[in-house]
Structure 1
Amino acid sequence: MTTVSTEFLSHTLSLRTNSKRSWHPKPNGVITCRIPVLNEDNPRKRKNNYNKGNGKVNSSDTAPRHYDFRDTHHMRSLNRLCKTGKYTEALYFLEQMVKRNYKPDVILCTKLIKGLFTSKKTEKAVRVMEILEQHGDPDAFAYNAVISGFCRSDRFDAANGVLVRMKNRGFSPDVVTYNILIGSLCARGKLDLAMKVMDQLMKDNCNPTVITYTILIEATIIHGGIDEAMKLLDEMVSRGLQPDMYTYNVIVRGMCKQGLVYRAFDFVCNLSTTPSLNLYNLVLKGLLNEGRWETGERLMSDMMLKGCEPNVVTYSVLINSLCRDGKTGEAVDLLKVMKEKGLSPDAYCYDPLISAFCKEGKVDLAIGFVDDMISAGWLPDIVNYNTIMGSLCKKGRGDEALTIFKKLDEVGCPPNVSSYNTMLGALWSSGDKIRALGMVLEMMNNGVDPDRITYNSLISCLCRDGMVDEAIGLLVDMERSEWQPTVISYNIVLLGLCKAHRMVDAIEVLAVMVDNGCQPNETTYTLLVEGVSYAGWPSDAMELAKSLASINAISQDLFRRLNKQSFFRA
């Protein structure tokens, strides 16, 4: 088959175009078009030259230029590649364009730069900027895109180099440029460098904005403390900048996280502007987390006086705190009040009630709230179901738990590792060891990997039934897996060995434990002392306890208790 080169086709098309009769009103003239004038407020938005009064285009705002339809075709192709995420192909296309003396479009190049940085193709993004600088007209948006990309890649020296190059080419960095640098540095804990950038911003006669100060305030709270952050707030106000609610949220959240809930309370109540409901909810949560119910009531009173009605978040904070403090009856009453006020409880309102009733052993009430939750249009998550199943198993109702477990896939909540762990322990405790072990196989077949709790549960079940050697084998498997045994894992095996009076093996397991870098705790030593005593050597157990107490491996209170036990067994 004969192939035709693109150059031949291009040449042929140009000949055919020249041979056709021109449809332009100017005989033998080139096709012209008008270049839209850009909007002065936003240089990237084209000004609408259409005069609505007379329905005509203002020709005085435009200038004729030669137009090449192939230019439009190339730009569209480049734009299409960017939209579909084919950034490498777009860069190749751009390189071919400039080789044919086409001028790159700054908007498309900026889009390509952002895409390449997002795709972690930093060097290719830099190449686009080089092409734009050599063959086009880069603007502040393009430079900001490169600076932002370098900052996200933690290449702050490179970002600073672009900033210098930007200035050398006659561009004045704007506050957006500096906000990118300051925000990136603060996000990575480099507050000192961020402050230096702030100083440079001032030297360049660039005015910081509310966003600039909010970024610095948030970072200062984390790394410098509330007092330093409040100084920045004062500086911000002295410059005539009015903090917005996001700024206040940052400050209040920081105070609550650092345990300064009373300071947060005073700050919100004394604001010159009406605080947002979100601010009140933040402080309320902080107060109630510390059990400050009286101050919480004062906050609610201030909130109501200023016209802020409680919302779903407010009620969820109150319900969660009541459940945590064992006041489930009051929490249920509050849920009723909430509904009477026309507010629909969400999952955050139901979750603490379900958990609280399960802890109290009132699993039927918890199931009732799950049903209410579904009726209200909220689907329970796997945590809710795991809580219910765990409570049923503790009440000896493993069959009901197993029924729920089997229906998890049907209700759109595939069981997770916690679900399997719950059922594993329940089945083994009920004596159904075959089904318990089958649960482990089913778990792995369904792509759910066992975790440390799974291993510990199996080891505990085996030791409880006197199958200590099998438990030791599982402990060895655990050492080879990604889940290294913890002190809990070793203590379970030690307990099984001590109950079997296999003290030599217990000492050997202790040695392996230490060799593997797992530090024994007080429970470990208690098991060994009691094991020696139960094995018929009470005097040896007492001597061991004395030695451990002398090196502070066990407390004096524990020593006295062990000493008493050894004495009675002598």
Structure 2
Amino acid sequence: MFCSRARQHGTLPLLSNLFKKSSKPSLFSSNSNPNISNQKTTTRRPTSLATLNPQETSRTISITYSPVASICSLLSNSVKEPVKIESLLEDYKEMLNSDIVLQVLMNYKQLGRVKTLEFFSWAGMQMGFRFDDCVIEYMVDFLGRRKLFDDMKCFLMTVLFHNGRVTCRAFSICIRFLGRQGRFREALCLFQEMETKFNCRPDNFVYNNMLYVLCKKDTSGELIDVALSIFRGIELPDTYSYSNVLVGLCKFGRFETAIEFFQEMGRAGLVPTRSAVNFLMRELCLLSAKEGAVNEVRVHGSRKPYTILVPNVGPKSGAIRPAVGVFLAVCDLGLLPSTFVIIQLITELCRLGKMTEAFEILKVVEERKLNCVAEGYSIVMKALCEYRLVEEASHLFGRMLSLELKPKLVVYNSLICMLCKVGRLDDARRVFQIMSKKRCLPDSVTYTALVHAYGEARNWEVAYDLLMEMLGLGWIPHFHAYTLVDKLLGEHGRIDLSNKLERKLESQILHKHCKAGQLEAAYEKLRSMLEKGFYPPMYARDAFEHAFRKYGKLEIARELLQNMDKAREPSKTEIRSS
């Protein structure tokens, strides 16, 4: 068609030959071209590019006039019998108009790309490229979707050469397609030539597309100052103008300027887009997290290089405060960020210990009935427990129950651990009971915290019961928790309970080894149990036998199993009681 880029796509050198009458252009491969029926129906003529979306042409488009059907039929048949398009469409020269050209172009699925471009080139030569705006816009979109950017620019120059008119919408389409493909300089050059070469003053739609390309698509950051100068040239910036610049400034780390733009936007009575607010708040939260981060520094001065951790002691910009201000400001305007950004904001506030601001954000989330309210409560609850704010945590926990939010296991564990650390065992046990009523299964963290707390309080009965209950659920207690309870039992002369506890623990460890397929560890554990006179219950014995049979090593364990069965006969009563 126009240049080397077009030849790479296999297109015809059509429009480049408009300034001279050339020979027949070469063809390239095309799609199947079924004949179009000569059906007469009436359709309303498209009046905007939105109605001319090429994606909508996947279905059969009805033909408005019989000349359109005839032209499509002739072009489709000419694929099998190549004929010069000048002679093929000689009878239709006088009746050509923009509406007929547009209807033929919209049937490119049936004609194929080659015939569509060939027809448009011929029609342009016949009409001197004096098309209606919708035809120009449709053709620019057609070329942009096929990444024929050199052809697209040559087409605009051809229209200009024939004193045709190119609309702002056509330029917007070109700029957007060029930006999506990373051709930022070409898009900027086309934008700058609009007034000087095409005598077309950009409107807000063109400005916004240019800012979209420079701020959102460009990743180098070299053109952000150009974007700011373009923005200042807009007579009346709108929501999208500000939003594009906001994203670009945050993207390249110019947060102070971004906040100034946000405030300026508020004074102008404009509301930013939701995506721009999300981007701004997310970047501010990330900046706040980096301010307190620990950096890794590689030391190369010694014989063997090593890495040390160095806290970030640089100047703090306090990025979390403007993030909260942005959130509250957009909420007053009726716009809410995404739940992901809200959770990110609450998490960062809790990390910094700014619980007042976190409660304020959580209140807004609850009032607006967002689906992230449960997760927000959980994050704030964990932070309150970490800072041991007992009264605030208790109040918020009661609030969660009143709202029927069903706290997660991590919330229960955080609350129970906090209450145990401050010595409020009755409250911790009460939370544990609520946990059971709400059918939230405890884990080893829950039991370990309670066992340690009651053990430190010298309440060996409750500590022993909790440890046995933990073992019954299949959880292996921490060594220090078991040692603490065993020591208390010995101090109170309960050797029988100490032996029972040890036998239960040994059986549970044996069962765990068997389930994990750790045959050697299971064999040694069972052998040591038998030496101590401990005989595992039937479920542990069956698990041991099943594990060795599964891996084809039952013969290795058979002697040990037989010794265990013989020893169990005189001790059946004892084993049943255990």
TM-score, L = length of structure 2 = 0.42
Larger radius of gyration: 2
| Structure with greater contact order relative to length (CA < 8 Å, sep ≥ 6) | 2
